[in-house]
C-alpha cells in the first residue's frame, strides 16, 4: 500500500474567524484531489496546516512527521536574484539536503529524469527570467519533485496562465502523480480544469466543506448550492458556466459529505 | 615590487580577502543584503574606534562589533532591519559612537584614515595569518552550508516550503558576513567595503546564470581587481582603493554591455 495522508476533524481559527471546521479526508497514493472554493475560503490555509506552518486548533494529521515527504508549489514566488539563475540550478536546489556541495552522479541523473518528466529539457540551460509563466510553473513543479515527495501540494499553480499552459501544467501534474504514485492536492478556481483531471473534489468555504468524486460534485444542482449562485454543467459534466444571478441557497446552509 | 615584505603581505592579504569577498558576495546580492553589508562596515568603524579607546587592537573591536550586530540583526529579523528608517538610525548611532570614541582617545589620526580608507600595504604578517584563519573558517562554513544557503538565498519561498531552517541559515550567514566585512575593512576601508562584497558578484550575475560559475567568476574578478589595484597603486603612489573600485566599475560596465549585446 502506498503513502496515505489523513486529516481528522481539522479546525483552524485565524483571529476571530473560523477558517476550517472539522475537515476530514484521506489522500491516497497516486490520487489527485482538486480543491475548489471562493477566495478566502481557507484553501491555502489547508495546505499550510498540512505543511505544519499553521497549527490547527483542533484535529489530527497522520503521519505527523511528514515534512520530508511533501513537495509544495506556493501560490506566489517573489524572486529577484532567483530569476536570473539557470533552470537546472533551480531544480537541483530542491534535492534533499546534504553538506556535500557538489551533486553526485545519482543526483544528476535524478535531476535529468525530473527535467524530462516535467518537459523542461529544451530550456533547462536558460535563466528563469527568460521563461513564460507556464514554463516557470513547470520549473517550480520540477524543483518540488526533486525532493522525491510522496505528496505534492500545489496552490493555484495555473492562475495567470493562458488556457493552453493551464492544460499542459495540470496534465504534467496528473501524469507525474500516476507514474510516481504521488498524492496530489491541487488548488484551482477553474472547475473545468479540475473536473477534467481530478479523482475527487474538495469544496471549501469558511467553516464548511464538501468532498466527493468528480461525478458527485460536478453537478449543476450541487455546484449551484455550493457557490450560492447558478452554475450550469453540460450533459457530460465536463464544462461549467457560473452565472452572476443569485438563485440558490447560500453556502452556509449546505452540508454534504460525498463518499467519505 | 615583490622585493618588499609589505607588498608581498599586501598581495597575500588582498588575495585572501578578495577570494572570500567574491564568494560570499554572490549570496549577499542574492539575499539583498548590500546595504546591511554597508551598515556592518560602519558599525565596524565604531567598534575599531572603541578598541583604540580601550587600548586594544582595532581589528578585535571591529570584529566584536560587527559579529554582535550580526547576531542582533538575525534575531530581530532581516526584513525589519532592512527598512530605510532602521538602517538610518543604526548607521547614525554607530557613526556617532565612533566619533565619540575617537574624541576620547589620543591615538586617532592614522587610525581614522586606515579604517575608513583601508591600509592593505600596512598589514603585517601577524594580521595576514589572522585574516587567513578567519577566511578559512568562513570558507569552510560556506562550503558545508552551500546547498542550504544557495536554496535559501536564491529561492527563499521554495526553501521555506521545503522545510529548511531559514532563520538559523539567516543568522549563520549574517555572522559569516560580519567576519568577512571586518576583514575587508582592512583592505578597502569601511567606506568601500561595498566594493569587494557586491560589485564582483553583481558583475558575475550579468555574465552567467549558473550559480557555480557565478561564484568562480565573482572570485576571479575580485582577485583581478585587487591585484591590478595593488600593482597600479605601487607604481603610481595613488590610493589602492581608488584603483580597486575603478577597475571593478569598469568590469561591471563591461558586463552590462556584454549582457545587452548577448540578448
- pLDDT tens, A21-71? 999 999 999 999 999 988 888 898 999 899 888 899 999 998 766 566 888
**A112 and A135 housed in the same domain:** yes
**Reported pTM:** 0.83
Number of domains in chain B: 1
Query: Domain boundary at A122, A147, A172, which?
Result: A147
Q: Residue A94: its chain B contacts at CB < 8 A?
A: 151, 158, 162
> Is the ipTM of this structure higher than 0.90?
no
Q: Are residues A18 and A44 in the same domain?
A: yes
Same domain, A51 and A93: no
Work out the angle between the directed axes of helices B58-76 and B34-54 (0-180°, nearest 10): 140
- State whether A18 and A138 are in the same domain: no
Burial of A52 (0-12, 13-18, 19+ CB in 10 A): middle
CB atoms within 10 A of CB B247: 20
Minimum mean pLDDT range among A63-67, A210-214, B66-70: A63-67
- Asked whether residue A73 is assigned to any structural domain, the reply reads no
**Tally of CB atoms within 10 A around A255:** 9
Q: Which three cell numbers stand for residue A156?
A: 493555484
Q: Judge whether A90 is closer than 8 Å to chain B, CB to CB.
A: yes
Task: Examine the pLDDT at B110 and tell me if it is beyond 90.
Answer: no
The most confident of A72-81, B40-49, B83-92, B100-109, by mean pLDDT: B40-49
Name residue, grid cell 587567513. Answer: B132
Residues 6+ apart with CB under 8 A from B76: none
Please tell me which residue, B158 or A233, carries the higher pLDDT value: B158
Maximum alpha-carbon separation in chain A: 61
Domain boundary among A92, A114, A147: A147
Predicted confidence (pLDDT) at residue A253 exceeds the cutoff of 50 = no
A52 in any annotated domain:
yes
| Residues A138 and A14 occupy one common structural domain | no
User: Domain of A4: which CATH number?
Assistant: 3.40.50.300
**Separation in Å, CA of A189 to nearest CA in chain B:** 22
Q: Highest mean pLDDT range out of A129-133, B72-76, B154-158, B172-176?
A: B172-176
Nearest Cα residue in chain A from B154: A82
Q: Locate B187 and state its grid cell.
A: 583592505
Co-location of A160 and A31 in the same domain: yes
Are B117 and B189 spatial neighbours (Cβ–Cβ below 8 Å)? yes
- What is the C-alpha to C-alpha distance for residues A202 and A248, in angstroms, rounded to an integer? 20
Structural domain boundaries, residue B198:
5-262
Q: Is residue A115 one of the residues assigned to a domain?
A: yes
CA dihedral (B228, B234, B235, B237) positive or negative: positive
Contact: B147, A77; criterion CB under 8 Å: no
Alpha carbons A18 and A123: distance in angstroms, whole number = 44
Q: What integer pLDDT is reported at residue A254 of this predicted model?
A: 40
Q: Do A1 and A64 have their domain in common?
A: yes
Other residues' Cβ atoms within 10 Å of the Cβ of residue A237: 15
- The answer, yes or no, to whether residue A244 has pLDDT greater than 80, is no
Here the cell at position A222 is 450541487
> For A184-203, what is each residue's pLDDT tens digit?
999 998 888 888 899 999 99
In a domain, A244, yes or no: no
The domain containing residue A188 runs over which residues?
1-68+150-218
B30 touches chain A (CB under 8 A): yes
**Grid cell of B223 as nine digits:** 582577485
- The listed range with the strongest mean pLDDT (A228-237, B151-160, B246-255) is B246-255
Mean pLDDT of all residues in A109-138 = 90
C-alpha–C-alpha distance, residues B249 and A198, integer Å: 55
Interface of B with A in 194-213 (CB under 8 A): 205, 209-212
Given a cut of 60, whether residue A252 has pLDDT beyond it is no
Q: How many CA atoms lie within 13 A of A111 on its CB side?
A: 20
Q: What is the mean pLDDT of residues B179-199?
A: 82
| Placement of cell 575593512 in the chain | B185
User: Of A125, A147, A169, which residue sits at a domain end?
Assistant: A147
Number of structural domains, chain A? 2
Q: What is the mean pLDDT of residues B208-223?
A: 95
Same domain, A46 and A106: no
When the pLDDT of each residue in chain A is averaged and rounded to a whole number, the result is: 82
Query: What are the φ and ψ backbone dihedral angles of A45, each rounded to 5 degrees?
Result: -60, -40
CATH code for the domain of B114: 1.10.3470.10
DSSP annotation of A98: -
pLDDT at B84: 61
Amino acid at each position: 500500500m502506498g503513502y496515505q495522508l489523513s486529516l481528522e476533524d481539522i479546525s483552524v481559527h485565524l483571529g476571530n474567524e473560523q477558517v476550517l471546521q472539522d475537515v476530514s479526508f484521506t489522500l491516497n497514493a497516486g490520487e489527485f484531489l482538486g480543491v475548489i472554493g471562493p477566495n478566502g475560503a481557507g484553501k491555502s490555509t489547508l495546505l499550510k496546516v498540512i505543511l505544519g506552518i499553521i497549527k490547527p486548533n483542533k484535529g489530527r494529521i497522520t503521519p505527523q512527521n511528514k515534512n520530508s515527504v511533501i513537495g509544495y508549489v506556493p501560490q506566489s514566488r517573489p524572486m529577484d536574484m532567483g530569476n536570473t539563475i539557470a533552470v537546472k540550478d533551480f531544480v537541483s536546489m530542491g534535492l534533499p539536503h546534504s553538506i556535500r556541495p557538489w551533486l553526485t552522479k545519482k543526483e544528476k541523473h535524478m535531476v535529468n529524469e525530473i527535467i524530462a518528466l516535467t518537459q523542461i529539457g529544451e530550456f533547462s540551460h536558460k535563466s528563469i527570467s527568460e521563461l513564460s509563466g507556464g514554463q516557470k510553473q513547470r520549473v517550480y513543479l520540477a524543483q518540488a519533485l526533486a525532493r522525491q515527495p510522496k505528496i505534492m501540494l500545489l496552490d493555484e499553480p495555473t492562475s495567470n496562465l493562458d488556457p493552453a499552459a493551464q492544460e499542459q501544467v495540470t496534465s504534467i501534474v496528473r501524469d507525474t502523480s500516476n507514474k510516481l504514485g504521488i498524492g496530489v492536492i491541487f488548488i484551482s478556481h477553474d472547475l473545468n480544469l479540475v473536473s477534467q483531471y481530478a479523482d475527487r473534489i474538495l469544496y471549501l468555504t469558511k467553516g464548511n466543506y464538501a468532498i466527493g468524486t468528480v461525478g458527485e460534485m460536478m453537478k449543476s444542482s450541487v455546484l449551484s448550492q455550493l457557490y450560492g449562485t447558478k452554475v450550469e454543467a453540460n450533459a457530460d459534466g465536463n464544462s461549467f458556466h457560473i452565472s452572476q444571478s443569485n438563485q440558490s441557497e447560500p453556502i452556509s446552509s449546505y452540508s454534504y459529505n460525498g463518499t467519505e | 615590487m615583490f622585493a618588499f615584505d609589505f607588498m608581498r603581505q599586501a598581495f597575500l592579504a588582498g588575495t585572501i580577502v578578495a577570494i572570500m569577498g567574491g564568494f560570499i558576495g554572490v549570496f549577499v546580492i542574492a539575499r539583498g543584503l548590500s546595504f546591511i553589508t554597508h551598515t556592518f562596515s560602519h558599525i565596524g568603524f565604531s567598534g575599531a574606534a572603541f578598541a583604540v579607546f580601550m587600548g586594544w587592537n582595532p581589528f578585535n573591536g571591529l570584529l566584536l562589533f560587527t559579529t554582535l550586530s550580526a547576531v542582533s540583526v538575525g534575531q530581530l529579523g532581516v526584513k525589519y532591519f532592512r527598512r530605510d528608517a532602521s538602517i538610518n538610525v543604526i548607521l547614525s548611532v554607530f557613526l556617532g559612537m565612533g566619533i565619540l570614541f575617537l574624541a576620547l582617545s589620543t591615538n586617532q589620526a592614522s587610525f581614522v584614515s586606515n579604517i575608513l580608507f583601508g591600509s592593505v600595504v600596512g598589514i603585517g604578517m601577524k594580521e595576514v595569518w589572522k585574516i587567513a584563519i578567519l577566511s578559512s573558517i568562513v570558507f569552510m562554513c560556506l562550503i558545508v552550508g552551500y546547498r542550504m544557503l544557495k536554496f535559501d538565498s536564491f529561492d527563499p519561498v521554495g526553501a521555506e516550503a521545503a522545510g529548511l531552517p531559514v532563520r538559523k541559515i539567516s543568522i549563520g550567514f549574517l555572522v559569516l558576513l560580519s567576519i568577512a566585512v571586518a576583514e575587508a575593512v582592512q583592505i578597502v576601508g569601511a567606506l568601500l567595503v561595498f566594493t569587494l562584497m557586491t560589485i564582483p558578484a553583481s558583475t558575475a550575475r550579468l555574465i552567467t546564470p549558473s550559480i557555480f560559475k557565478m561564484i568562480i567568476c565573482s572570485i576571479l574578478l575580485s582577485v583581478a581587481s585587487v591585484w591590478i589595484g595593488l600593482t597600479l597603486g605601487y607604481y603610481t603612489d595613488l590610493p589602492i582603493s581608488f584603483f580597486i573600485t575603478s577597475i571593478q566599475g569598469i568590469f561591471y560596465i563591461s558586463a552590462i554591455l556584454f549582457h545587452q549585446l548577448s540578448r
